[in-house]
Structure 1
Amino acid sequence: MSPNPVTTRERLSSPLTWHYVGLAVMILIVAILAVRLGLDWSATDSSSNDALVNKQIELKTLEVQTAPLRGLEGRVKDSRVQIQDFYAKRIPANYSSILTRIGELEVKSGVHLSRVGYSQGASAGDLTEISMDAGISGEYQQIMHFVNDLERDKTFFVIRAMAFTGQQGGLVNLRLRVSTWLRPSDVPNGLPPTSSETPATAVPQAQEGE
């Protein structure tokens, strides 16, 4: 006689069947967790990459912004050396050296200076402006030589203004205002302040001679 067949109810109530079911559920849960972990990892990795890129951009921006400051100390030191060199070579040593140099250029060019007046202008930093206001007469070429020599002279002269005042024969007459600078300690006492009038109308001050 053959054994009784196993019914479906018996199979469902079998511990082995429930073991297989539990194992399948666990495998499904593990699979779901693995997928979720993979998605989270991908999102975290993408966020980290974005953060890294942002940091790199910030660093590059800071490098560009701070580039002009690199070597600033050295450039400041070089500037100070250049300023001291300029003072030593191009700023008159004293008031009398201005008069001497103007006289030398007058003789060299052949012009004649008259009604020469010197005045004191504003101070800026370590220097005080000294202005010369004078009449200048001579042939056109002589005057041009005098003006060019002033502009190119080792002593620092700046031509502020020139005004035509007349002509007689081959001689041209101009009013000329020239500036140079002195250290405050070298400025003589008693110089009048520089007038704001133009050379065409200004009255010469502190005349040095005709």
Structure 2
Amino acid sequence: MAKRAYSPKEVLAKTYKTLPWGERWSRPFGFPTTNEAWFVSGASASGKSSFVMQLAKELCRYGMVLYCSYEEGVSQSFKERVERFKMGEVQGRFRVATSDTYDELVERLAKPKSPHFVIVDSFQVAGWSYDQTKQLIDRFPAKSFIFISQEHKGQPMGKAAVRLRYISGLKVRVVGYKAFCQGRFTEDPGSYYVVWEEGILRTSNNLG
């Protein structure tokens, strides 16, 4: 059976629920839909982990967040970020999973009142194929998946990660404690999210 094709009128009539966040977030990232896929990459010590925790806290304002901490677990450094960004303030909307298999995560997300935002950190350590990941996104179309990627020579590590980046609506790269949006939503390509102001100054001084 042939699949449906939309007319321009039908496309223009569509409406979407977007994140109603403030200027600090909307300027670099626009107003993405609440079920958008994110792809966040960055080199080690770039501020990526701090950015992700800040993003997680902001998303807690709009729904339950599940942080799949496959790479770090609940290590000392992870605990320090939880303390630094006062994640206790969103106690009721923030959960951390460290060892869910793919099937266990699917089972968790299929339950009533399951998390709306799912952070996968990192995609490489999760060990999923591109096809598995695409199936996960398609199975839960109302949820937002945020994939955190390792890098090699400035590019996402592994072919699956490169493919995943292409289909993600929000592509974010963290460099020198600045998070830049390379996706479809930003209206100000030169803007960035300040992850750590002092870190930016230190990086600039070192470069100078």
TM-score by length of 2: 0.24
**1 or 2, which has the higher strand percentage?**
1
TM-score (norm 1): 0.24
Give 1 or 2 for the bigger CA radius of gyration: 1
Structure with greater contact order relative to length (CA < 8 Å, sep ≥ 6): 2
